[in-house]
Each structure stands twice: as structure tokens, then as C-alpha cells.
Amino acid sequence: MAQQRKVWEADLDEDFQDVDLNLAIGTYGQNGLYDDAQSRVDEATLLALQQQMAQQAAFAQIPDVVKRFIAHFHQAVLDNNLAEITVAYESGWNRLTEKFYAKTEWPEAEVIAPLVNDDQIFLILYRELYYRHVYSRLTPDIDDRFHSYENSCELFNYLLNSDGPVPLELPEQWLWDIIDEFIYQFQSFCVWRSKVKSKTDEEIAMLAEGSQVWSSYSVLNVLYSLIQKSKINEHLVALQEGKSPEEIAEIVGEYGTRPLYKLLGYFSIIGLLRVHSLLGDFTLALKVMENVELNQKSPFTRVTACHVTTYYYVGFCYIMLRRYPDAIRTFVSILNFILRMRQYHTRSYQYDQINKTADRMYALFAICNALSPTRVDDNISNIVKERYGEQFAKMSRGEEGIPAFEELFLYACPKFITANPPPYEDPEALQGYIDEPPVEPAQRHLQLFLAEVRAQAPVPTLRSFLKLYTSLDASKLANFLDADEEDMVQQLMVMKQASRSISRVDEKSLLDGQWISTSDLDFVINQNMVHIAESTVGRRYAGWFIRNTEHAQRVLDTLRNAPLPIPSKPTEANKASKAESTAPAAQAPARTGGKQVAWGSAKAA
Amino acid sequence: MVTTAANWVAPPTRPPLIETLVSGVDRYNPSNVGILEDYLYHQIRSQEYDCLANLAILKLYQFNPDLYNPDVVINILIKALTSAPFPDFSLCISLLDERPASATSTAAAANPDEPDPLPQLLPVLTQLHGLLQQCRFPRFWALYRSDAVEALRDNYTVECVGFEDAVRDVAVRAVKAAFTSISSERLGSYLDLSGPELTAYVEKLGWTIDAATGVVSVPPNPDNQIESTVVQESIQLPQLTKVIAHAAQTSLPVVSAV
């Protein structure tokens, strides 16, 4: 904590130093050294004047519609009018971006300041959007990276270090985006920082000086501070204990009762999950989630992106903890959720992002399923077969599948970072760093993962042989495999281990779990005799009967709703034959394609 | 019920002070590294093991490179080695960052007489871990007893009380799951024991050894009891809600209408 606070204060101090400096210059001018001061003032005013003129020119450039938008946006924020803010944030900003700022920056905050009466809080929020736009549409330079960090610090300072909770309200989605973007910029900075070769001398000098900018400590500090301020963990525990809203309000205090702090706190937990994963600490990543229940009906948020991020990182951490059944369950649950969401959710940039993450999860799912083959959700495994069928087939064949594992892992893993910058402050060490660059973090994690995969490599072949027998002499099996008997017996032990895994059965905490068997094929060795047992899944009737019952009900409904036959002879015969012919015709698809019927029924109901 | 994983997350031997460090934000405070390091040496002496506490040390090293102490790292890795098939070893390596390469230059420059031992020992440790991971127990022992591993044996594992027995535990776990009976020769090669030593070890485990044939029988446990089963589906009420609701809605009025 001490260290944490120190870093935080260091940031504060820097800000204060700037202020002090200005004050110092001001008093210095009034303190009597007139001549000197006079010229300084002139120079300063001249500069200020120039700057002002430049800003005025820039201001004149801003299209009127943008000016009106900003003024309106500002008013909405002043009024804490969530509906208006949401409209401005989700549609206004994006529409104007497309129209005027698709390839350039929005006007700088200083330029639009007159429009918003120099409202510092709004300008901080404005810069949050401004930099996010730079990161997503343009290429941020070193100044953008440093300034976006400073602006984030200012924003969090304002939220955390004002007297009491701030009277600000922002839409859920924006709050999520603030935390999400903060971590994204941190990660982006770390990656950019590690590429020493492409840096100019000026950039190296700035990086040497600003080693605190985007430091891991400062980022964790923000997230932990938000968590503590909002008492979100206490809140989650109280909810699980079934406390009443009054009791909870008591527990979480003046900050935690406000949606702004509560949500920022919750998103910060997810943020920690992500940061720890990026830094390669998969255990801690899941440990910070201790009090979060994995459930899409979370009482906390309806932000889809938040759910998707949560499940992606939790699932990935499970892979790195070699808990494939848990990873599979996590991915299946969120991928089904995304499939269901698809019909409601077609909105723009978030939807693209969600789809990309979903695709990476299908790849991770394929990896897990190859390492721990189990009967799984048909919906999801069909899509996986469609997208990654080729890789999956390779991965299920042991050693020769290693390149496929490598390909999918690198595609689907998080963008890992290193915790520390290259030694920018030490030119000699920096040269050493350039001559002998360290292994990239993604490569390091890949190698660790592949070591695990290689250890399991003999399993698929053994499995395919064992499936054919109920008992078999070990020497005979070794013969088939053209392997040494002792080696083969040791591989059988590996196979046994690979078919067991720790898995969360009904435990609440994400790290908890029990040993379960994950394979339908089991065996045991009695001296030299291998006995094999297979558990099979009995035929499933329920789905078929349910679908057909539902179908029969619909047919009956149709018949009942049909107009009564007019009692004239020829038409009656006609109707009857028609009714007869529709029934079997409608029934036919039920037999062949059950799914279509299920969808049809949903529409009818 | 205390599960295997729960024990791993929070071993019953973990003192309250360490629990606060591991679970709270104080784990980031560099001045606490000494407490955690002392706890590691306590684990080394008393055959305890606490993975999360050791990961907390590595986390502090990750964030504060100047705290880095290679002896501590090596001891952590030795401890993690014998938790196979749990992935502790890889989890520890994950946190080592690019250290081995970059640390050599700075550490060597600072102290040329005492080069950092980690870059030399890390490949050996990784190799040993690989062999355990693949259940290559006889090869593990061969490598472990070889000259190549002398530095590790003489300087580190000798200090780690019960290291060899901890490795045997790894082998015992693997054998227990896969065998109902095993020849004493094969078991001996896994445990690096023979003759009376092996007999004594087997008896300590509560297993029985047939004096005439030399076959060791492994007591039944959930993993070495196999059974062919057929999993039958069970239908849940929610699956039928639509059918039942529909029946309730429609069946009555039609009859009365006619």
C-alpha cells in the first residue's frame, strides 16, 4: 500500500509542481527586477497572444454543427441528464467522427474551451474521447501517449481525491469504456515502449525521463483505488449473503451507493483480471475475481462488452492453469450468449469488437477440446468445426499438431506485455538490449504452453488404440506402437493424468475446484495387463420427443383455427384431403432437421 | 469439504500474516518481500508448500527488478517442481519476464565474482520439470544424479528438506491413478529405491508387497477403479414448460366451444 500510495502521490506531486512553477514565475515578475521582468512579460504575452491567435484560427475552423454538439453535450453533462449524455456519447460523437474527423483529430480541448466556459471537468471528459479517437483511428505519437496518461490521471484524481463523491453521472457504457480504454492504452504503450529500435533520440530521452508514465504500479494503483473507494468487494459479498438494500447502503458508504463509483469499482475488478493476465499472472487474475459470480445476469451491468471481456480472460486463465473443462464451460456459456445477442445487437464498433473476441474464443475452444476431448455443446462445436476444423483435426493428432496449436494460440492469446521498460535511462544497457532483445512475452507464454502440449502428445495415439480393446497386454500395445514397453507404460500414466483435471463443480470461487475425470475412456494397469473401460452416452430421446410434441401441437392449432368447412359436397372432400396432406408434409421436416422446427416454434410462440 | 484446489489456494499451514499479504493489496509493497522470503525458507525447511505466497514474491520481483534474488527464485522453482501435475512450475516461469537474459549483464557487472546462477540452472530445472511432467521418472533420477545437475544438488536441493521424497510423491500419485498392481522392479525405478528401502517405502504408503512374486498391489482409489457406464439423459422440467403451457392454454376452450 505504501508503495502504491507513493506512486499515486508522485503523480499528484508532478501536477502540483507544474502549478507551483507557474506561481513562482508570477511572483518573480512582481518582485522588483523590473527590466528583466518586463522583457519576460513581453515575451510571454507575445507567446500567449500568438497561441491565442492560433487557437482562434483553429476555433474558426470548427464546423458549426460540431460547435453546437459540444455545447449541447456540455449542457447534458452539467445537467447530469443521462439520456442526453447517452445520445451524445453513443450516436452524436460517432456520427460527427464519421463526417468530419474520420482521418484527423477532433479539435483540441484548449480550442473548444470557450464553448464550455472552460469547464475543466468537461474538458477532461472531452480529452478522454479525444485520445480514444486518436488511438482507434490514427497513430498516437509519444505526446499523445504521455498526454492521454496525464488526462487519465487527472480524471481519476478528480474522481478519487475530491472532497467526497463527485456529483457526476455517466452512462454505464461510457464508464466501462473509460476503464477498458485505460487498460488498452497501457497495454499499447507497453508494446510500443518495448520496440527500442524504432525510437528517435528525442523519444528515448522522454522515455528515460518519464519512466513513471504508464508504469504497472500506477495502473494497478488506479484500479485498486477505485475498488477500495467503491467498496465493491464488500458490496458483492453482501449481495451474496442476501443483505437488504439498506444494509448494503450502510456497508458501501457514500461512494459505493452512487452508480458511478459502484460501476467503476466493478469494472476495475474486471480491469485487474485483464492486467494480471497481460502480465502473465493467471492465478492472481482469477483470485481478484473471488467475489464476482460468473453469470450473464449480473446485477451490476448490462454492458455486453464487459461480459465478453470477463469470460475471455477467465477462460484464458483457465487454459494457462491447465483447467480445460473449466475453460470450455466458460467459452461455451459466453459464446452461446453472443449467438443469442446477435439478433438484438448490431450496433457499430462494439459489435465488431465483440465478434473479434468471439472468434478468438472459438479458437481457444478448439485448443481446449483437442487437449481434453469431451462431449460438448453441439451449437458451438459445429461453429468451431466450420472455422477451425482443419486446425482441430491436426491438433487431435499429437506431435504433428504442434504448429496448429502454435498458430491458434498466437492468434487468440491476449496481447501480453512485460512489466518493465527497456533500460532507456542507461545507453549502454539499452545497446545491449538492442543487440540481444529478450524473448517477446507472447513467445514465452507460447513456449510454456507448448511444453504442456508436447507432454501430452502421445495421448491421442494411445487413445485410438485403447478404444479397440477391453484388455490388452502392455508388451503387445508397445509392439503396435513400435515403442519401448517401459516408455509406453510411462506414457499411459501421462494419459491418465491428462484425463483428470481440477474443475469447478459447485464451488463459488473461480480458483476452487475438485478433481474430475474428463475422458470417456478410462483404463487401469494390472501389472502388465491394461484393462479398458469406456463410458458411452445413451441415446437421447427427449429432444426429439419434445420437438415433435411441439410440432404436433402446432399442427393441431392450425387445424383448429382453420375455418369450418362449408357443407357442400365437392369442397368438403377437397378440404379433408388438404388437411390430410398438410399434416404429413409439415411433419416431414421435423424428422430430418429438428432445429428448423425448434426455430419455427419460437416464431409461432 | 476442503477440496484439493482449496488447499492449493490456501494451504492450512499458511499463517494469518501471509494470508493478509497474499489476499490484500499489501502484496505489492516491496518492503514486505522479506516476510515472504522468510516464509519460503520456512517452507524449504519444514516440507510445507504455498504456491500463491511464492508467486507473490515473483510478482514483487517482476515489478521491482532491484529486489531480484536468484537464490530465492531457484528455491521457488524447486518447490514448484514437485507439485506436478499441477502447473505451478509454468506459472512461476510465467512471472520471470525476460529476466534471465537481461539480469545476467547487470548482475555480472555489479558483482563479477558471483555470477547469477539462474541462467545456468534454469535449463536444468526446466528439463527436470519436463521429465516429471511426462512421467519419465527413471530418466528424471538418472539426470538428477548426473554430474550436470551437481550444482543444483550441492547448492540447493540438499537444503530443501524432503526434496527426493517430494519427487517420489509425484511418482506415487501417478502410479496410484494408473495401476492396480505393479512389479516392484518397475516401481523401484520410478522411486529410485530398491531392496529393503523400497519395501519400507511401500509399507509406509500402506501398500502391500507380495514377498514371493515381488508384485506391489495398489489399494483401490477412485482413479484406478474403472467401470463401463452408459450415461442416460435426464429430462428437466424446464425443457417441458413450453409443451405443458401450450396444453394448458389450448385444450379446454375448444371442447366447450363445440
State how far the Cα of A128 lies from the Cα of A176, in Å rounded to an integer.
13
The closest alpha carbon to B126, from A433, A49, B134, belongs to B134
**CATH 1.10.10 domain position(s) in chain A:** 458-538
Q: In this predicted structure, what is the pLDDT of residue A3?
A: 43
Cβ-contact A396, A460 below 8 angstroms: yes
Chain A residues 224-243 within an 8 A CB cutoff of chain B: 224, 228
Rounded mean pLDDT of A456-474? Answer: 90
Q: In this predicted structure, what is the pLDDT of residue A4?
A: 42
More confident residue, B245 or A9: B245
Q: Among B92, B179, B185, B207, which would you mutate to test the A interface (most chain A Cβ atoms within 10 Å of its Cβ)? A: B179
**CATH 1.25.40.250 domain position(s) in chain B:** 4-99+117-161
Does B181 sit within 8 Å of A541, measured CB to CB?
Answer: no
Rounded mean pLDDT of A570-586? Answer: 48
pLDDT at A2 over 50: no
Structure letter (DSSP) for residue A241: T
Does A320 sit within 8 Å of B62, measured CB to CB?
Answer: no
Q: In this predicted structure, what is the pLDDT of residue A39?
A: 56
Q: What is the CA radius of gyration of chain A?
A: 31
Q: Which residues in chain B have their CB less than 8 angstroms from residue A600's CB?
A: none
Rounded mean pLDDT of A250-266? Answer: 89
Q: Which residues in chain A have their CB less than 8 angstroms from residue B29's CB?
A: 1-4
Give A35's pLDDT tier (boundaries 50, 70, 90).
very low
Rounded mean pLDDT of A249-254? Answer: 87
Does B3 sit within 8 Å of A507, measured CB to CB?
Answer: yes
Q: Among B2, B93, B94, which would you mutate to test the A interface (most chain A Cβ atoms within 10 Å of its Cβ)? A: B94
More confident residue, B43 or A18: B43
Give the C-alpha distances (Å, rounded to integers) separating A559 from A552, A564, A575, B199, B254. 11, 10, 11, 81, 12
State how far the Cα of B22 lies from the Cα of B10, in Å rounded to an integer.
9
Query: What pTM was computed for the model?
Result: 0.83
Q: In this predicted structure, what is the pLDDT of residue A299?
A: 64
Q: In this predicted structure, what is the pLDDT of residue A442?
A: 92
Chain B's closest residue to A564, CA to CA, is B258
> For chain A, what percent of residues have pLDDT higher than 90?
32
Give A514's pLDDT tier (boundaries 50, 70, 90).
confident
Chain A's closest residue to B213, CA to CA, is A527
Average pLDDT, chain A: 82
Does B94 sit within 8 Å of A491, measured CB to CB?
Answer: no
More confident residue, B138 or A91: B138
Chain A residues 428-467 within an 8 A CB cutoff of chain B: 429, 432-433, 436, 438-439, 441, 444-445, 448-449, 451-452, 455
> For chain A, what percent of residues have pLDDT higher than 70?
85
Chain A's closest residue to B56, CA to CA, is A284
More confident residue, B223 or A182: A182
Of these ranges, A488-492, A504-508, A556-560, B239-243, the one predicted with the greatest mean pLDDT is A488-492
State how far the Cα of A521 lies from the Cα of A518, in Å rounded to an integer.
9
pLDDT at A518 over 90: no
Q: Which of A429, A433, A455 is opposite residue B134, by nearest beta carbon?
A: A455
Strand partners, B215: B183
Domain range B4-99+117-161, CATH class: mainly alpha
The one-letter amino acid code at B69 reads N
Per-residue pLDDT of chain B (258 residues; tens, 9 = 90+): 456 788 888 899 999 999 999 988 889 999 999 999 999 999 999 999 999 999 999 999 999 888 999 999 999 999 999 998 889 999 999 998 765 444 444 444 455 556 788 888 999 999 999 999 999 999 999 999 999 899 899 889 888 999 999 999 999 999 999 999 999 999 999 999 988 999 999 999 999 988 888 899 999 988 888 888 777 777 888 878 888 888 887 665 544 444
Identify the three-state secondary structure at position A199. coil
Residue with cell 468451431: A384
Give A563's pLDDT tier (boundaries 50, 70, 90).
confident
Beta strands A500-503 and A514-517: pairing type?
antiparallel
Beta strands A521-526 and A529-534: pairing type?
antiparallel
Give the C-alpha distances (Å, rounded to integers) separating A466 from A373, A476, A483. 15, 12, 15
| Predicted confidence (pLDDT) per residue in A125-161, tens digit | 999 999 999 998 888 989 899 999 999 999 999 999 8
pLDDT at A6 over 50: no
CATH architecture of A458-538: Orthogonal Bundle (1.10)
Q: Is A544 on the interface with B (CB under 8 A)?
A: no
